[in-house]
Amino acid sequence: MPANLPPEYFKVEQKYLQARTLEEKILATQELIRIAPKHKGTEKLLRVLKRRLAKLRRELEGREKRRGGGPSFAVKKEGCAQVALVGLPNSGKSTLLRKLTNARPEVAEYPFTTRLPVPGMMNYEDVQVQLVEIPSLVEGSSLGRGLGAQPLSAARNADVIALVVDASSDILSQVKTLVRELEESGVRLNRSPPRVTIERRGEGGIVIRGKELAEGGEEGIKELLREHGIHNALVVVEERVSLRTLEEILEGSVVYRPCFVLLTKTDLSPAVGEPPEGLKVIDAGKPPEELKREIFESLGLIRIYTKRPNEGPSENPLVLPRGSTPLDVARAIHKELERGMRSARVWGSTRFPGQWVPRDYPLQDGDVVELHS
């Protein structure tokens, strides 16, 4: 099918060809993607353009890493989750980190005070959550503006994203900028990862389950895999996906993270506007203990205390994703345990203390669990 590209497409393509810097190439490629018509005949072109964009971005990040002595941007994970504090300059990230952890980053009224990620431990009851102040983002961070794209890769590395938003200036536009920059660098917020697995194999060709759910069907998937040099793989597709999504999975270029807003400077004036609907918002002006509880509750984690028959519950909880079951508890303790697991007794969320539950029972924060084979 002919692509029928509009004349301006070729103008921008010219711009791309003449671009001298990586940033210019990225901008031109983004523009090409935007103006290329979206239909069957341009699918392949769009894929090629998006792949080029991803490659240019990786180059940009790689270059910055080499320049800036990269390792200092990577923060080793500690505690039950790493939460990135992401915000525009002066949004109050350091102030918040000082309020909630033992870290002592400099607070100042000029922008870009914090230039490297700063970790701190937030103690909440019997768990520890790692908060990391990410150096400020600005519009265009994903293109290397402001402090460059490295803050974005530090944010990408975290388990959860907290958008630190200054309530005394336009809330919606701050959220939009942050979300856009994160999306541009391959961080999807509050969305579940596509239910697709691609497992490379040594032989057997390309086997596909659920091919009718993939855009382009069997041929589309096979062509995509071939383009990536993959000739043997098991592909399982469990929901409708585009070829672009399949490509992201192949390249591991996108991560999916839960996200919420921490609203700062609520003491200054009435809040300016509102964040988009559906995004959880926490007033960071609350007393520390209350704030810590709300943050923990926003991480999508639950604390589970295990016990053996006739003994007391463990002192330190296992911290698992919300919705975890006794089977997940068994798995978290030991693979072996998982196999023999039949049922469990639960104290806490059940109607009766010590009630027998099936192994797929959805546990709640604070439950005590006794596993039985």
Binding residues for ligand GTP, total number by CB under 6 A? 21
Q: Please give the Cα distance from 152 to 110 (Å, whole number).
A: 21
CA dist 233 → 7, 201, 215, 217 (Å): 40, 5, 18, 16
When CB distances are held under 5 to 8 angstroms depending on the partner's kind, the choice from Mg ion, ligand GTP, none that residue 185 binds is none
Is 177 a binding residue for ligand GTP by CB under 6 A? The answer is: no
Is 128 a binding residue for Mg ion by CB under 5 A? The answer is: no
Stretch that binds Mg ion, among 91-99, 137-145, 215-223, 254-262 (CB under 5 A): 91-99
Asked if 54 and 251 touch (Cβ cutoff 8 Å), the reply is: yes
**CB of 159 vs Mg ion, minimal distance in Å:** 21
Q: Are strands 343-347 and 355-358 parallel, antiparallel or unpaired?
A: antiparallel
Q: Please give the Cα distance from 143 to 132 (Å, whole number).
A: 22
Strand ranges across the sheet with 196-200: 196-200, 233-237, 206-209
Is 267 a binding residue for ligand GTP by CB under 6 A? The answer is: yes
Q: Which of 46, 87, 144, 179 binds ligand GTP (CB under 6 A)?
A: 87
Binding residues among 4-43 for ligand GTP as defined by CB under 6 A: none
Is 317 a binding residue for ligand GTP by CB under 6 A? The answer is: no
Q: Which of 50, 57, 93, 257 binds ligand GTP (CB under 6 A)?
A: 93
CA dist 215 → 106, 221, 223 (Å): 50, 8, 12
Q: Please give the Cα distance from 175 to 276 (Å, whole number).
A: 8
Is 107 a binding residue for ligand GTP by CB under 6 A? The answer is: yes
Query: Tokens 């039949």 sit at which residue?
Result: 342
Is 111 a binding residue for ligand GTP by CB under 6 A? The answer is: yes
Q: Which residues pair with 321 in a beta bridge?
A: 301
Region at 49 (left for phi over 0; alpha for psi -120 to 50; beta for the rest): alpha
Q: Dig out the tokens for 117 from the structure.
A: 């990620």
Is 264 a binding residue for ligand GTP by CB under 6 A? The answer is: yes
Stretch that binds ligand GTP, among 34-42, 91-99, 340-348, 350-358 (CB under 6 A): 91-99
**CB of 127 vs ligand GTP, minimal distance in Å:** 25
When CB distances are held under 5 to 8 angstroms depending on the partner's kind, the choice from ligand GTP, Mg ion, none that residue 366 binds is none
**CB of 90 vs Mg ion, minimal distance in Å:** 8
Angle between helices 150-157 and 171-184 (to 10 degrees): 90
Stretch that binds ligand GTP, among 75-83, 200-208, 221-229, 265-273 (CB under 6 A): 265-273
Is 174 a binding residue for Mg ion by CB under 5 A? The answer is: no
Q: Identify which of residues 262 and 320 has a Cβ nearer to ligand GTP in the complex.
A: 262
Q: Dig out the tokens for 265 from the structure.
A: 């400077």
When CB distances are held under 5 to 8 angstroms depending on the partner's kind, the choice from ligand GTP, Mg ion, none that residue 324 binds is none
Is 287 a binding residue for ligand GTP by CB under 6 A? The answer is: no
Q: Identify which of residues 146 and 216 has a Cβ nearer to ligand GTP in the complex.
A: 146
Binding residues for Mg ion, total number by CB under 5 A? 4
* Cβ neighbours around 108 below 10 Å, total: 11
Q: What angle do CA 23, 25, 26 make, to 5 degrees?
A: 65
**CB of 163 vs ligand GTP, minimal distance in Å:** 12
CA dist 2 → 5, 39, 164 (Å): 9, 10, 47
When CB distances are held under 5 to 8 angstroms depending on the partner's kind, the choice from ligand GTP, Mg ion, none that residue 256 binds is none
User: How far, in whole angstroms, is CA 120 from its chain's centroid?
Assistant: 20
Q: Please give the Cα distance from 63 to 60 (Å, whole number).
A: 5
Binding residues among 96-115 for Mg ion as defined by CB under 5 A: 113-114
Q: Which of 29, 42, 82, 94 binds ligand GTP (CB under 6 A)?
A: 94
Q: What angle do CA 75, 108, 280 make, to 5 degrees?
A: 60
Q: Which of 35, 48, 74, 108 binds ligand GTP (CB under 6 A)?
A: 108
Binding site for Mg ion (CB under 5 A): 93-94, 113-114
Binding site for ligand GTP (CB under 6 A): 87, 89-95, 107-109, 111-114, 136, 264-265, 267-268, 285
